[in-house]
């Protein structure tokens, strides 16, 4: 389809107008609500019923806007550099309390029930997760990194490390670690179409030692083997080394080529994260076996289109060249150098008969060796209301520049590879955030360059603002990206339903793109009022993506859009991920796709994820 100027510009203008309107939206100052009168009517007598009603209708006035602050994580500790740590104390903050102010108590009946039945994280295990010890000189950056590391643990809702005592001349300090658990037991289920039942239960903090145990069960009347199960065990921070071990089996995984629950997985991994920019080593070892068994279709169709069996091995190690030299830096973070090497092997033992003689990137055998030299410099700022609903969250500021070199053998084609990965994080004086990313990589084969990929992207969100004197807070998100592929040979072509496109769009079969431009905007309105401990955040969004087919001119590209809104909810005391109700409208659709889509998702991202170092990898464009 040939593009007209209206096709491209009008959806973009509409997206910008919606975003500008939401940015300027401001609620008038609230008058005194009838909520207090209602509460008095419902609770004329003290007692259990009053507690229950107050747990549902929280009439506490919104807090002062001291919470709407973004500060550098190092600030509370900078004055005490080199001071001897006299003592370390631990305080487990209960449900209904805050790590920022333990005197602030807003407990309801459900908090009390949770506190009575919850098995708390052992203080000895929290102590095992510290980067420092009693009697050591204090490193402000190391303590700030440790606080962020604790907040990133899935079994903790929040954590703070606070100086609770110091000598008159600041040469010694007392530290207190405040940590707040989440209720670690969670589950999920799916009734399917009435013919199947799927149920999953997991404990993210088994025995209070940060271990994860997960059990899955599937019973499907349309499946040849009606019952299937899965189990996983994760042991975190083995013997204080910060290494994690995982082993698992899953007999009902969705197959990557059909989505039907007929893949079996057996897997294990051992990983050592870079918990701090002053740690020396990081890396991981991963091994897995994946295979399908025919559970739903005829044997002839299964063998022709869907069967596969492959083994995957992925190992890498990285060394922090600057760690020891810069451990006690004082004035500001210095750039650090890092070297890493990665080995990957994907070996397909069985593939569909259709692709025995014709290439399909999904079933390509791969052996690769990839090395990287990285220079990075990163600080972190503490803020809130990004993906969470009031908990402390950490956003990075700094840069990460990697040069990558390697060799690959993909489906018998041996090619050298080179690439560059640049990421720049900026926190402005007005507390807005920008993440710029630039990736470029390609292969060389038979005297020419192949599978060249280029990606430039921007992620940003505005300062958190309160709407008038109300309980409502608002933050605006704007993202954009440009992706280009040149001389595509073995790699997957560009598609619309991508993390850099419109993820919820259906895949367009047979549409192989080489150029893509995407823009998106979203406004999220956070309400500080709670219902049964759940916070709510309505949102509105708009997405627009342009995709040009391989070998065609710009005017032959196509524009796809998505518009809509919804609401997200989360109880920060529970290990459950954020739950989202999303209503979407697609003005233009593909075969088998409805213009309207209403869906509910769970376990969405609820923390801003950022790593000092990533394992060496090829440019990801989808």
Q: For position 605, what pLDDT does the model report?
A: 61
CB 182 within 8 A of CB 157: yes
Rounded to an integer, what distance in angstroms lies between the CA atom of residue 610 and that of residue 398? 11
Of 363, 397, 412, the one marking the end of a domain is: 363
Rounded mean pLDDT, 410-434: 94
Confidence of residue 17 (pLDDT cuts 50, 70, 90): very low
Q: What is the pLDDT of residues 154-175, one digit of tens each?
A: 999 899 999 998 888 888 999 9
Q: For position 210, what pLDDT does the model report?
A: 93
Q: Examine the pLDDT at 16 and tell me if it is beyond 70.
A: no
- Torsion from C-alpha of 407, 410, 415, 417, nearest 10 degrees: -50
Mention every residue, 6+ apart, whose C-beta is less than 8 A from residue 476: 19, 22, 23, 461, 462, 521, 522, 523, 524
Q: What is the pLDDT of residues 336-360, one digit of tens each?
A: 999 999 999 999 999 999 999 999 9
Please enumerate, as own/partner, the contacts of 439-446 that have beta carbons within 8 Å and a separation of 24 or more.
Answer: 439/619, 439/620, 440/619, 441/404, 441/417, 441/618, 441/619, 442/417, 442/418, 442/486, 443/408, 443/415, 443/416, 443/417, 443/489, 444/415, 444/416, 444/418, 445/413, 445/414, 445/415, 445/489
Q: Does 476 share its domain with 552? A: yes
Rounded to an integer, what distance in angstroms lies between the CA atom of residue 244 and that of residue 240? 10
Least confident window among 27-41, 255-269, 399-413: 27-41
Rounded to an integer, what distance in angstroms lies between the CA atom of residue 245 and that of residue 263? 23
Rounded mean pLDDT, 30-43: 38
- Torsion from C-alpha of 291, 295, 296, 301, nearest 10 degrees: 50
Domain-located, residue 591:
yes
Nearest C-alpha neighbor of 61 from the set 90, 32, 21: 32
Q: Does 219 share its domain with 279? A: yes
Extended strands (E) in 167-226: 172-181, 185-190, 196-206, 211-220
Q: For position 327, what pLDDT does the model report?
A: 66
Domain-located, residue 579:
yes
Strands lying side by side in the sheet with 156-166 = 84-93, 172-181, 156-166
Q: Does 272 share its domain with 324? A: yes
> In this structure, what DSSP letter does residue 487 have?
S
Please enumerate, as own/partner, the contacts of 388-391 that have beta carbons within 8 Å and a separation of 24 or more.
Answer: 388/570, 388/572, 388/606, 388/607, 389/526, 389/535, 389/537, 389/570, 389/572, 390/67, 390/526, 390/528, 390/535, 390/572, 391/151, 391/157, 391/158, 391/572
Q: For position 19, what pLDDT does the model report?
A: 41
Phi-psi region of 601 (alpha: psi -120 to 50; beta: other; left: phi over 0): beta
Domain count, the chain: 3
Domain-located, residue 586:
yes
Confidence of residue 27 (pLDDT cuts 50, 70, 90): very low
Q: Examine the pLDDT at 50 and tell me if it is beyond 50.
A: no
- Please state the three-class secondary structure of 302-358 as a single string: HHHHCCCEEEEEEEEEEEECCCCCCCCCCCCCCCEEEEEEEEEEEEEEECCHHHCCC
* CATH number of the domain residue 152 falls in: 3.10.20.310
Q: Does 324 share its domain with 349? A: yes
Rounded mean pLDDT, 112-136: 88
Q: Does 493 share its domain with 554? A: yes
Burial track 369-388 (b if 16+ CB lie within 10 A, e otherwise) = ebebebebbbbbbbbbbbbb
* Burial class, 579, CB count within 10 angstroms (exposed 0-12 / middle 13-18 / buried 19+): middle
Q: Does 497 share its domain with 601? A: yes
Rounded to an integer, what distance in angstroms lies between the CA atom of residue 108 and that of residue 115? 11
Phi, psi torsion values for 2, nearest 5 degrees: -80, 135
Tokens 């998106």, residue located:
520
* Structure token digits, residue 445: 């084969």
Q: Examine the pLDDT at 26 and tell me if it is beyond 60.
A: no
Q: Does 463 share its domain with 484? A: yes
Q: Examine the pLDDT at 52 and tell me if it is beyond 60.
A: no
Q: Does 451 share its domain with 348? A: no
Domain-located, residue 64:
no
* Domain span including residue 398: 1-25+33-59+385-622
Domain-located, residue 39:
yes
Q: Does 508 share its domain with 460? A: yes
Confidence of residue 103 (pLDDT cuts 50, 70, 90): low
* Structure token digits, residue 514: 């080489």
CB 27 within 8 A of CB 467: yes
* Structure token digits, residue 217: 């069960």
Rounded to an integer, what distance in angstroms lies between the CA atom of residue 419 and that of residue 341? 14
Q: For position 167, what pLDDT does the model report?
A: 80
Cα–Cα distance list, 425 to 199, 432, 458 (Å): 40, 11, 10
Q: Examine the pLDDT at 413 and tell me if it is beyond 80.
A: yes
Q: Does 55 share its domain with 155? A: no
Domain-located, residue 6:
yes
Q: Does 545 share its domain with 604? A: yes
Rounded mean pLDDT, 294-308: 96
Of 147, 181, 215, the one marking the end of a domain is: 181
Q: For position 325, what pLDDT does the model report?
A: 74
Domain-located, residue 424:
yes
Nearest C-alpha neighbor of 574 from the set 185, 93, 213, 189: 185
Domain-located, residue 536:
yes
Q: Does 90 share its domain with 130? A: yes
Confidence of residue 14 (pLDDT cuts 50, 70, 90): very low
């Amino acid at each position: 389809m040939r593009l007209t100027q209206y096709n491209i510009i009008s959806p973009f203008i509409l997206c910008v107008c919606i975003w500008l309107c939401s940015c300027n939206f401001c609620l008038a100052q609230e008058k005194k609500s009838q909520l207090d009168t209602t509460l008095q009517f419902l609770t004329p007598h003290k007692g259990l019923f009053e507690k229950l009603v107050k747990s549902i209708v929280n009439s506490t006035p919104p807090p002062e806007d001291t919470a709407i602050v973004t500060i550098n994580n190092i600030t509370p500790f900078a004055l005490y550099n080199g001071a001897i740590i006299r003592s370390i104390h631990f305080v487990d903050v209960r449900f209904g309390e805050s790590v920022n102010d333990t005197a602030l108590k807003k407990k309801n009946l459900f908090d009390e029930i949770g506190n009575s039945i919850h098995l708390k994280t052992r203080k000895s295990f929290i102590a095992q997760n510290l980067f420092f010890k009693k009697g050591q000189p204090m490193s402000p950056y190391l303590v700030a990194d440790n606080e962020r590391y604790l907040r990133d643990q899935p079994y903790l809702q929040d954590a703070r490390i606070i100086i609770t005592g110091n000598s008159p001349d600041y040469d010694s300090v007392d530290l207190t670690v405040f940590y707040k658990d989440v209720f670690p037991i969670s589950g999920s289920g799916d009734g399917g179409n009435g013919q199947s039942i799927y149920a999953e239960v997991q404990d993210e903090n088994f025995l209070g030692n940060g271990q994860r145990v997960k059990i899955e069960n599937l019973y499907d009347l349309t499946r040849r083997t009606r019952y299937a199960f899965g189990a996983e065990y994760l042991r975190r921070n083995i013997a204080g080394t910060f290494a994690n071990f995982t082993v698992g089996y899953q007999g009902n995984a969705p197959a990557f080529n059909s989505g039907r629950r007929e893949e079996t997985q057996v897997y294990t991994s051992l990983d050592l994260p870079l918990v701090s920019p002053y740690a020396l080593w990081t890396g991981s070892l991963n091994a897995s076996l994946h295979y399908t068994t025919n559970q739903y279709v005829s044997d002839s169709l299964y063998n022709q289109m869907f069967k596969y069996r492959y083994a995957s091995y992925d190992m890498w190690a990285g060394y922090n060249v600057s760690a020891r030299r810069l451990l006690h830096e004082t004035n500001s973070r210095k750039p650090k150098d890092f070297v890493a090497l990665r080995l990957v092997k994907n070996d397909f033992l069985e593939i569909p008969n259709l692709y025995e003689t014709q290439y399909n990137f999904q079933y390509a055998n791969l052996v690769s060796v990839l090395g990287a030299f990285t220079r990075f410099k990163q600080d972190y700022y503490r803020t809130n209301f990004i993906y969470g609903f009031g908990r402390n969250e950490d956003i990075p500021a700094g840069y990460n520049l990697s040069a990558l070199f390697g060799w690959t053998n993909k489906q018998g084609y041996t090619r050298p590879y080179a690439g560059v990965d640049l990421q720049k994080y900026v926190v402005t004086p007005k507390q807005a955030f920008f993440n710029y990313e630039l990736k470029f990589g390609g292969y060389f084969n038979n005297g020419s360059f192949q599978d060249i990929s280029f990606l430039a992207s921007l992620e940003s969100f505005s300062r958190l603002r309160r709407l008038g004197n109300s309980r409502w807070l608002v933050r605006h998100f704007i993202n954009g990206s440009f992706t280009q592929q040149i001389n595509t040979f073995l790699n997957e072509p560009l598609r619309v339903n991508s993390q850099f496109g419109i993820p919820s769009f259906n895949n367009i079969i047979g549409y192989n793109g080489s150029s893509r431009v995407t823009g998106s905007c979203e406004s999220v309105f956070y309400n500080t009022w709670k219902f049964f401990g759940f916070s709510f955040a309505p949102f509105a969004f708009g997405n627009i993506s342009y995709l040009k087919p391989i070998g065609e001119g710009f005017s032959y590209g196509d524009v796809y859009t998505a518009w809509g809104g919804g609401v997200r909810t989360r109880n920060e005391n529970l290990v459950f991920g954020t739950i989202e109700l999303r209503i979407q409208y697609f003005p233009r659709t593909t075969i088998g796709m409805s213009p309207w889509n209403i869906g509910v998702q769970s376990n969405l991202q609820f923390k801003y994820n950022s790593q000092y170092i990533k394992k060496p990898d090829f440019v990801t464009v989808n």
